[in-house]
Amino acid sequence: MKILNFARTSLGANIYQGMGFGIAMTFCGGFIDAYTFIKRGGTLVAGQTGNVTFLSVDLATRNFDGALTKGVTMLAFMAGVFAVSILHTKLHSAFWRLATIVPLITFCAIVGFLPADMPDIYIVPPLALGMAMQTTAFSEVAGRGYNNAFTTGNLKKTMISLGEYVMHRKSEDKRSVFIYAALVISFVAGGIASALLQKILGLYTILIAAVILAVTAGIYALMLIEREDHLSS
């Protein structure tokens, strides 16, 4: 059975905008952030606003090791965003977004087996690099801009869409409310799931994110292949 019939799909060329991908990646965004916050020195992989605040506190309290980790994490995130802009230009392929998911899957799989006493500066920045690449490449869902690595923007857009719907009663605004609210809920659910599972699985918890992302990437790849077959037939 075919995974996707492109003669009927509304996504067309924009497969990456599928709601399922948005939900899965946003869930993993909350999941991984909760993991590094609890297990790896209170540093966030994706939430650089939080890291700036924590960095400031670390500097004020002379926690220079913590400040260094957060500073390098921020630089790694910036590097990931920059890398995607290069990849998008250099890789002339419909599969280029797949290349942006692989680093985060790989880093999550490796980190799950690293000892607890390994310095956080060797663990969190690579994850931030991978997260930045993924969230930059997958920045739209159902034709709407969003972020799968942190939730402030999604929460803001939920309330803006709600206000627009209350005032104008447009079905498109109502749909936007449900889309953004679902993304916010998925991020929160990811954080809760991560925190609970860490009580059972400890450092291995992040392997679950690797599995979810690998499955997501696999489905995306299969859908791309089917689309290319459809276009060439």
43 close to 124: Cβ distance less than 8 angstroms: yes
Rounded Cα gap, residues 67 and 54, in angstroms: 8
The answer to whether residue 4 sits within a structural domain is no
- Domain of 163, in residue numbers: 18-226
The answer to whether residue 97 sits within a structural domain is yes
The answer to whether residue 57 sits within a structural domain is yes
Average pLDDT, the chain: 90
The answer to whether residue 8 sits within a structural domain is no
What is the total count of domains within the chain? 1
The answer to whether residue 35 sits within a structural domain is yes
Cα–Cα nearest to 205, from 188, 185, 184, 191: 191
Q: What does the pLDDT read at residue 7?
A: 35
CA 66 → CA 14, 45, 71, 204, distances in Å?
40, 14, 9, 23
- Could you read off the pLDDT of 90-109 as tens digits, one per residue? 887 878 899 999 999 999 99
179 pLDDT above the threshold of 90:
yes
Range with the poorest average pLDDT among 32-36, 169-173, 178-182, 205-209: 169-173
Q: What does the pLDDT read at residue 88?
A: 84
> What's the rounded mean pLDDT across residues 173-189?
96
The answer to whether residue 232 sits within a structural domain is no
Q: Where residue 215 sits, what CATH number does that domain have?
A: 1.20.1250
The answer to whether residue 33 sits within a structural domain is yes
Burial 53-81 (b: 16+ CB within 10 A, else e): ebbeebeeeebeebbebbbbbbebbeebe
